[in-house]
Amino acid sequence: MANKEVILSAGSIQSPQILMLSGIGDKDELEKHNIALQKHLPGVGKNLQEHVDSCILVRSKKRDGFTSSPMSMLKMLPDTLEYMLKKKGKLANSMLEAGAFLKSSDELSRPDIQLHMVPLLYDDNGRDIKLMGGHGYSCHICVLRPESRGSIQLKSNNYLDDPIIDFNFLSDEQGKDRKVMIDGMRQVRKIMAAPAFDEYRIDEMHPGFENESDESILAKAKERLGLVYHPVGTCKMGHDELAVVDTALKVHGIEALRVIDASVMPTLTSGNTNAPTIAIAEKVAEMILAD
Ligand SMILES: Cc1cc2nc3c(=O)[nH]c(=O)nc-3n(C[C@H](O)[C@H](O)[C@H](O)COP(=O)(O)OP(=O)(O)OC[C@H]3O[C@@H](n4cnc5c(N)ncnc54)[C@H](O)[C@@H]3O)c2cc1C
């Protein structure tokens, strides 16, 4: 119930979940969970996009990068003190100080790959803690405009249950995302083989130089697939069959309900999503005030 309107801003994972729990979504999906239908909108929770990422890992001769080994942690005590007292030194590093935007093909008008260089053996947002105990560096390759589409589905009609998140990475039928990922891995390999790295490089730990064919590079990339926490698209703006909100972000067919968050982006931006989300919110705030 609302005097004026309801604004849903729970993000790309939970906005569609809340809509579905409230009876707005694909009617077959809602029926499965015994949820009374308010409005059949098949696009709720569909069209999920995220920046899929993989990496090249290189073992280093030098031991001046970052590692989570107990000995290195001890050695970093002076750095810790320096940072605490002066906010300077090794620990003032953002961990992502080098990056690049690349094109997978010269025909493109703008880059479709983003690189993040990390002075640490690091994959999938640091979930492999053992890996981080070694000495080395990594370069992450992110597909900026993926074609693959995933989904957010309900596990049950209990709002306390997490939804099912299926990113469906690298799954597009034409194989464009797979091609971009393979190309990115190959370009990074070349960068890592540059003479500037000679004094650091021992060998390519992952994928490993024995993996040369497209198939084996892709298989290896999949072993260390990660994401960049940029989910969008699950309540997309538009007027096609899967659109959930109109250009004022009002939910189609429901009075006085808007969704305002990253879920309304029909396609993923070619970079980080926080600023675009704020821009969307500012734009619609102006529309609401004008109303
Ligand atoms: C670990 C991480 C790192 C990131 N780093 C960057 C970065 O460096 N640069 C960048 O541009 N972007 C970054 N992002 C992405 C950026 O944070 C998002 O694109 C942006 O926050 C999306 O905004 P949003 O409003 O759609 O969702 P959110 O910011 O997620 O806001 C949704 C809000 O709804 C609340 N909520 C959800 N369900 C309910 C409920 N049932 N009841 C009440 N409240 C609820 C949540 O608690 C949350 O506060 C990062 C994201 C993560 C997770």
| Section 226-244 average pLDDT | 97
Of 192, 207, 227, which marks where a domain is finished?
227
Q: Same structural domain for residues 181 and 274?
A: no
Q: Same structural domain for residues 139 and 115?
A: yes
Q: Same structural domain for residues 286 and 264?
A: yes
Of 25, 5, 44, the closest CA to residue 255 belongs to 5
Our count of domains for the chain comes to 2
Q: Same structural domain for residues 281 and 262?
A: yes
- Alpha-carbon distance of 172 to 167, in angstroms, equals 12
Q: Which of 14, 15, 127 to probe ligand 1 with, by most ligand atoms within 8 A of CB? A: 14
CA of 275, closest atom in ligand 1:
11
Determine how β-strand 226-227 pairs with β-strand 52-60: antiparallel
What's the pLDDT tens digit per position in 81-93?
999 999 999 899 8
Q: Same structural domain for residues 208 and 137?
A: yes
Q: Same structural domain for residues 190 and 255?
A: no
Q: Does the residue 159 lie in any domain?
A: no
- Alpha-carbon distance of 120 to 133, in angstroms, equals 9
Residue with tokens 């102006």: 286
Q: Same structural domain for residues 133 and 258?
A: no
* Whether residue 280 has pLDDT greater than 90: yes
Q: Which structural domain, as residue segments, surrounds residue 217?
A: 52-149+170-227
Among left, alpha and beta (phi > 0; psi -120 to 50; other), residue 281 is alpha
Query: What is the length of the chain?
Result: 291
User: In this predicted structure, what is the pLDDT of residue 67?
Assistant: 86
How far out from the chain centre does Cα 141 lie? 11
User: Quick one: pLDDT band at residue 68, thresholds 50, 70, 90?
Assistant: confident
Q: Which tokens sit at 142?
A: 């992110």
| Section 190-206 average pLDDT | 95
* Whether residue 80 has pLDDT greater than 80: yes
Q: Does the residue 157 lie in any domain?
A: no
User: In this predicted structure, what is the pLDDT of residue 102?
Assistant: 97
Q: Which of 22, 229, 260, 284 to probe ligand 1 with, by most ligand atoms within 8 A of CB? A: 229
Which residue's CA is minimally distant from atom 29 of ligand 1?
11
Find the distance separating the first CA and the last CA of the chain, reported in whole Å.
Answer: 20
- Residue 66 sits in a domain of what CATH number? 3.30.410.40
Q: Same structural domain for residues 62 and 191?
A: yes
Q: Does the residue 278 lie in any domain?
A: yes
Q: Does the residue 163 lie in any domain?
A: no
Of 206, 227, 248, which marks where a domain is finished?
227
User: In this predicted structure, what is the pLDDT of residue 94?
Assistant: 85
Cβ-proximal residues to 22 (8 Å cutoff; 6+ apart), any chain: 38
Cα 11 to ligand 1 centre (Å): 6
Q: Does the residue 34 lie in any domain?
A: yes
Which residue's CA is minimally distant from atom 25 of ligand 1?
261
pLDDT averaged over the chain? 95
Choose between 1 and 211: higher pLDDT: 211
User: Quick one: pLDDT band at residue 58, thresholds 50, 70, 90?
Assistant: very high
Cα angle vertex 13, ends 99, 140, to 5°? 20
Q: Establish whether 140 is a catalytic residue.
A: no
What are the two backbone dihedrals, phi and then psi, of residue 253, each rounded to the nearest 5 degrees? 80, 5
* Whether residue 196 has pLDDT greater than 90: yes
Q: Same structural domain for residues 250 and 119?
A: no
Exposure string of 269-280, with b = 16+ CB inside 10 Å and e = fewer, is bebebeebbeeb
User: Quick one: pLDDT band at residue 4, thresholds 50, 70, 90?
Assistant: very high
Q: Same structural domain for residues 174 and 206?
A: yes
Q: Which helix (H) or strand (E) holds 192?
A: helix 176-192
Q: What is the model's pTM?
A: 0.94
User: In this predicted structure, what is the pLDDT of residue 96?
Assistant: 86
Q: Does the residue 132 lie in any domain?
A: yes
Q: Same structural domain for residues 33 and 75?
A: no
**Active-site residue, from 51, 116, 140, 230:** 230
Q: Does the residue 155 lie in any domain?
A: no
Q: Same structural domain for residues 69 and 205?
A: yes
Give bridge partners of residue 52 from the DSSP assignment.
Answer: 227
Cα 290 to ligand 1 centre (Å): 27
137 three-class SS: strand
What's the pLDDT tens digit per position in 137-181?
999 999 999 999 999 999 999 999 999 999 999 999 999 999 999
- Residue 11 sits in a domain of what CATH number? 3.50.50.60
Cα 165 to ligand 1 centre (Å): 15
Give the CA count within 13 Å in the CB-facing half-sphere of 218.
Answer: 15
Cα 134 to ligand 1 centre (Å): 32
